[in-house]
Structure 1
Amino acid sequence: MKAIQQYDFGGPEVLTVTEIPEPEPRAGRVRVRVTGTSVNPADLAARAGWLRQVLPDLAPPFILGADLAGTVIDGDGPFAPGTRVAGLAPWFVNQEGTYAEVVSIDPAHLAQIPDGVDDVTAAAVPITSETAWQSLDLGGLEAGQTVLVTGASGAIGGWAVQHAAGRGAKVVAVASNGDEKYVEGLGADIVLGRAGDAGELAAAVRKAVPGGVDLVVDPAGIGGDLIHAVRDGGVFVVIAVVPEPLAERGVEVRRVSAQSDGALLAQILADLADGKKKARVGLILPLTEAAEAHRKSEERSVRGKIVLTV
């Protein structure tokens, strides 16, 4: 089968189209013929070697990729052969990536793709939507509270806005220039532009929410003085691989560690099928153009997820 291997750390050019054997059937696993995967910031960080800050033993060769959509071939679990599924592969645990034609995965990480959701859209959903949901959980968000979401134009931020609004929270979102209407459409109550440094952004938030927000979810990795936007005793959730802001005024700083959860993903996909949530796909490329997909992602020239089709 075709897969994208990397044999060294470096730029997109280290991603190599190669032929490797399909994974053999294994007890407790499902084999899935992949129809789509997607490019995430963690993929770029792993490829370049930046993730060795948190995974010191990480070393090539490996196959990148955490998101997948595809069709069950065989295996254990509740999914019959031919079932369309999506999932979040636990790449941080085993480095068994999804940039490949066939993957072997624990069925607990999978959810059936409902009618009305195509495979390309499903491939764009798992890691970002689940991370966003679990960030809000980690922050203890409750209905009626106010949450600040940075990077709301991006994948994790966009999902955090939608999930928070769906939970009955008031959402203050930081959007890229030109994306204000899009972010409003996700359910944000207040949309701020990303201008100035962290301190200036915190001041803008305090102007909009004088008492400070209950929770900050920070996919953009702004950190630092942005903690001033949180009320005394609130929570600041760090997502990106960046230094944590210094805690102050009883504000708790917590770092999310996303966990693959097939049941949660099933709920999110159902919301997509029902039109309650939406995923943003910006570019579709074949798997064999993974290097170009990484270049586009690093250039930040695409608004929305980059999906690789197989």
Structure 2
Amino acid sequence: MKSIIVRASGGTDVLELADSPSPEPGVRQVRVKVVASSLNPIDLSARAGRLTAGGLMPPMSQYGLGWDVAGHVDALGPRATRFHVGDPVIGLRDLLFAGGTHAEYVVLDESALAPAPASVPLTHAATLPLNALTADRALDLAGVKAGQTLLVTGASGGVGGFALELAKLRGVRTIALARPSDADRVRAIASQVVTSSDDLGPAVRRIVPGGVDAVIDAAVLGITAHQALRSAGTFVALVAPFAPPPIRGTRVVVQEVFADGGRLAELARLVDDGTLTLRVAHTFPLTQAREAHELLEKGGIGGRIILTP
């Protein structure tokens, strides 16, 4: 099969479209014939070597990229009973040393998979697993209840957008930090929108005197976003090195995403009922992975980038 691999960290020139045998599913595993996979910022970090340098990924002679997958069940391993060959599924690879999803086939534990949402094409469904599971867990860690106030930075992106929609479903008041070009779209979801991180704390406190009850820092602003948080509030960081100190009695937690097919199935149902919105900006074949990486690095694309075999 063909897959995108990296043998030495660096720029987009280190991306290699390689041939290798198709993986075989083990006990309680499923092989998926990939239809689509998202390209995420963590793939850029893995390619550039930042995950290895940060201790999040062990040094390896080569590794694959890609976390999200949407496709069809192709083969079942022993004692795999949740799916049938041909089923449309979505899933998340959460082991950085395992084979990536930017490939023609991927093997995952059946517990990492969920039925794909029926209302959208698989190219769109591939944008759900990593970002939606991250947003959902971040919201749980934030601990906000109906009527409380949450600041979401990076609201223009995938994690931030899902966090806003899930918070709205729970009756939480949200303040979103979004790019000016996305303000109108985000305003349809959030209670209030701020379009600049300059003096973010004072700007948010003018809207919510005393500060918000919790922050989900999808834009990785750290202490800049923490200034908007009330004393004894909760700050959810998505990247550990950028987590601010817990000053003023605040609670700072780092969200670590993990594969959860059961919860992913519930999130897929929220796509089908119109609660969660999937946005695809561009689709590239694996042969144009370098162009896809370059586009994501430029930023401001207004949706997810999809790679297809």
Question: How would you bin the TM-score normalised by the shorter chain?
Answer: over 0.9
Counterpart of 2:194, as a letter, is L
Partner of 1:203: 202
Does residue 259 (structure 1) correspond to residue 265 (structure 2)? The answer is no
Shift in Å at residue 25 of structure 1?
3.2
Counterpart of 1:78, as a letter, is R
Give the match's secondary structure for 1:178: helix
Alpha carbons of 1:77 and 1:54: their partners in 2 closer, same or farther (altered >3 Å)? Answer: farther
Shift in Å at residue 59 of structure 1?
2.5
Superposition map of 1:168-187 within 5 A: 168-185=171-188, 187=189
Partner of 1:58: 59
Partner of 1:83: 87
Shift in Å at residue 194 of structure 1?
1.9
- Indicate which of 143, 164, 168 corresponds to 1:165: 168
Q: Distance in 2 between matches of 1:183 and 1:37?
A: 25
- TM-score normalised to the size of structure 1? 0.95
C-alpha RMSD of matched pairs (Å):
1.3
* 1:151-177 C-alpha deviation (Å, 9 max, x unpaired): 000111111111111111000000101
Partner of 1:48: 48
- Indicate which of 113, 118, 123 corresponds to 2:116: 113
Partner of 2:157: 154
Q: Tell which deviates more after alignment, 166-175 or 271-280.
A: 271-280
Point out where structure 2 has 5 or more consecutive residues left out of the alignment: none
Q: Distance in 2 between matches of 1:122 and 1:144?
A: 31
Give the match's secondary structure for 1:17: strand
Shift in Å at residue 301 of structure 1?
4.6
Shift in Å at residue 241 of structure 1?
5.1
Counterpart of 1:148, as a letter, is L
Counterpart of 2:128, as a letter, is V
Does residue 101 (structure 1) correspond to residue 96 (structure 2)? The answer is no
Deviation above 4 Å: which 4+ runs of structure 1?
A: none
Q: Distance in 1 between matches of 2:121 and 2:237?
A: 31
* 1:78-135 C-alpha deviation (Å, 9 max, x unpaired): 110000000111133x332101101111011111013212101110111001000000
* 1:5-49 C-alpha deviation (Å, 9 max, x unpaired): 111100111111111100023221101100000111111101100
Point out where structure 1 has 5 or more consecutive residues left out of the alignment: none
- TM-score normalised to the size of structure 2? 0.95
- Tell me how many residue pairs correspond in the alignment: 305
Alpha carbons of 1:114 and 1:221: their partners in 2 closer, same or farther (altered >3 Å)? Answer: closer
Q: In the alignment, is the contact (CA less than 8 A) between 2:200 and 2:227 conserved in 1?
A: no
Alpha carbons of 1:223 and 1:25: their partners in 2 closer, same or farther (altered >3 Å)? Answer: closer
Shift in Å at residue 273 of structure 1?
1.3
Q: In the alignment, is the contact (CA less than 8 A) between 2:240 and 2:254 conserved in 1?
A: no
Does residue 292 (structure 1) correspond to residue 291 (structure 2)? The answer is yes
* Percent of paired sites with the same residue: 40
Counterpart of 1:84, as a letter, is P
Superposition map of 1:131-142 within 5 A: 131-142=134-145
Counterpart of 1:168, as a letter, is G
Counterpart of 1:259, as a letter, is F
